[in-house]
Amino acid sequence: MQKIAIIGAGNVGGQVALSLIGEGAPHLALLDVADGLAKGKALDLEDAASVLKRDCKIEAGSDFSLLKDAGIIVVTAGLARKPGMSRDDLLKKNSEIVKGVSSRIKQYAVNPIVIVITNPVDLMTYLAAEATGFDKNRVFGMGVSLDGARFANLIHNELQAPVSHIEAVVIGSHGQTMVPAPHMTKVSGARLERLVDKKILGHLVKSTVERGASIVAHLGSGSAYFGPAAAAACLVRAIVKDEKRIIGACAYVNGEYGIK
């Protein structure tokens, strides 16, 4: 597995790093504007790697030259939501952060794959693609991969079916306009619409859309990080191991499917 860089050493970034160590990543770089935060997390992650019996070189700091030789860069830098905020409320501040980070990626990294996690992720992915100037098929966002997992979890809770038997589909943006698609969702090969009535179906769809806000409300400070980090690590694994899986994500389109 190649060197993977993570920009942003907060809750999401740290958890992404831990997940990748568990996957066997041999070389990570953890960057944050708070130099001490990145270095402190790196020391803790080294200990975690030892616990997990994994050999992983971890570089850390605020110097973007750490991006050199990174084949994959995960962008988690940005502000998190607070109760009552939508993902779009983060737009102005996080736009500035992502543009700045993207310019540094362009400066130091040679044709990496960039995965954006920062919210609002669809817009941040577009900004990253524009700012880096990389081929658009090398810059994409976590998008609805997390929402599909949330939909599957809610279906699991309702039907007690194994999550591994659930193919949950969510399309659109990672936000209030996302569209959980029951007619495309299957449980052990059967369409979800045939397994639950319309009332339950409506509840599952509504709960999926509101899941992120519910987590924010309960936490009181910050937003989800275990789920987003797991989704990011899943994307990295699929790329590195060439798993040939279909995973929901947001990407730059230029005429595909009539969208531009």
248-260 pLDDT per residue, tens: 899 888 888 787 7
Decide: helix, strand or coil at residue 212. helix
Contact 119, 94 (CB under 8 A): yes
The pLDDT assigned to 1 comes to: 65
Residue 134 lies in a domain: yes
Question: Residue 83: what pLDDT?
Answer: 78
Helix (H, G, I), strand (E, B) or coil at 42: helix
Question: Token pair for residue 212?
Answer: 């992120």
Q: What is the band of 90 on the pLDDT scale with cuts at 50, 70, 90?
A: confident
- Do 14 and 134 belong to one domain? yes
Q: Do 119 and 152 belong to one domain?
A: no
The one-character DSSP state at 80 is: P
Among residues 156, 165, 174, 203, which one is catalytic? 174
What mean pLDDT value characterizes the chain? 94
Taking residues 9-37, what's their average pLDDT?
Answer: 97
Task: Provide the residue range defining the domain that includes 44.
Answer: 3-141+224-232
Where do the DSSP E strands lie in the chain?
Answer: 4-7, 27-31, 57-61, 72-75, 113-116, 139-141, 166-167, 170-171, 179-180, 186-187, 190-191, 250-251
51 pLDDT more than 70 = yes
Residues 191-196, mean pLDDT to the nearest whole number: 96
* Average pLDDT estimate for 158-165: 97
> Which of 213, 209, 180 lies closest to 85 in space, CA to CA?
213
E runs forming strands in 131-214? 139-141, 166-167, 170-171, 179-180, 186-187, 190-191
Q: What's the total number of domains in the chain?
A: 2
Residue 103 shares a structural domain with residue 181: no
* Helices 226-240 & 11-22 angle (0-180, nearest 10): 40
- How far from 47 is each of 8, 40, 53, 54, 122, CA to CA, in Å? 20, 11, 10, 10, 35
Q: Does any domain span residue 241?
A: no
- Output the pLDDT for position 222: 84
- Catalytic site residue 174? yes
Q: Does residue 99 share a domain with residue 123? A: yes
Residue at 10: amino acid letter: G
Residues 90 and 51 in one domain: yes
Report the first-to-last Cα separation within the chain, whole angstroms: 34
| pLDDT tier at 35, thresholds 50, 70, 90 | very high
pTM for the structure as a whole: 0.93
